[in-house]
Amino acid sequence: MDSLEQIKEGAVGNEMPLDEVLRRCLILASTLRHEPLKEWARSELNGYLSVDNIPSYRSLNVQIYFNAVSFRTIATSQPVPPGTFPPELAAKATTIRLPNPVAEIEGWATDEGAKLSVPRDIYDHLASVMSEREWEITSAWYSATSGAVRGILSTIRTRIVEFALSIEDELPNFDSRTLASDPVLRKAVRRIFDRTILGTGTS
């Protein structure tokens, strides 16, 4: 079984961990001398260092919860009331892009989801609003459901499968050992990568 076939078979099901599939992509990218595929696989494996580079498919709808105390009682794991955040913070309070390595994300998918830190501006605004209501915030976090996390992992697997299938369909004589020295075929692989993995470009 060649490397492309191994990648496709590994991505189709859930038996092979996604980080192993991506390491196979990394090996293929090195063989092809295909830097975009190598950079993408490495970022998925190690996490994205810049928020600006996080792909849109890693977007996640989230709910903020908080713990707080007042003079009379304690509130634990309370959802933030609707309308708490002004328009300029509303999107940031409900949608995030995950920079984390896929192995970490896979762990969340098998548990009960994830608790993620909220940015300082979100926390400060929430604390200010609740203070006006005589509550003191002690902690706050984004809650991401395991189902939503699995959706991101499924999207990554699907894109890898589409990449492999497109190469098989459009480059039927694909050979990773010789393609690295063929600029025409390398350009074709780049076009397929942009379309299937990044979701950009045209066919």
Q: Do 158 and 129 lie in a common domain?
A: no
Instruction: Mark which of 112, 133, 150 sits at the end of a domain.
Output: 150
Q: Are residues 160 and 189 in the same domain?
A: yes
How sure is the predictor about 201, in pLDDT bands with cuts at 50, 70 and 90?
Answer: low
| 64/30 same-domain check | no
Q: In terms of domains, do 23 and 9 share one?
A: yes
Give the pTM: 0.88
In this predicted structure, what is the pLDDT of residue 189? Answer: 87
pLDDT score at 178:
65
Q: Is residue 202, in this structure, part of any structural domain at all?
A: no
Confidence of residue 182 (pLDDT cuts 50, 70, 90): confident
Count structural domains, the chain: 2
pLDDT value at position 200? 76
For the CA atoms of 25, 28, 33, 35, the dihedral, rounded to the nearest 10 degrees, stands at 0
Longest dimension (CA), the chain: 73
Taking residues 162-170, what's their average pLDDT?
Answer: 92
Q: Do both 102 and 89 map to the same domain?
A: yes
**Domain identity same for 75 and 143:** yes
Q: Are residues 99 and 146 in the same domain?
A: yes
The confidence band for 179, taking pLDDT boundaries of 50, 70 and 90, is: low
Q: How far apart are the first and last CA of the chain?
A: 27
pLDDT tens-digit series, residues 83-117: 999 999 999 999 999 999 999 999 999 878 899 99
Domain check: are 60 and 110 in the same one? yes
- The token duo for 98 is 């995950």
Please name the residue ranges forming H helices in 3-119.
3-12, 18-32, 35-46, 87-94, 102-110
- Dist. CA 126–CA 148, nearest whole Å: 24
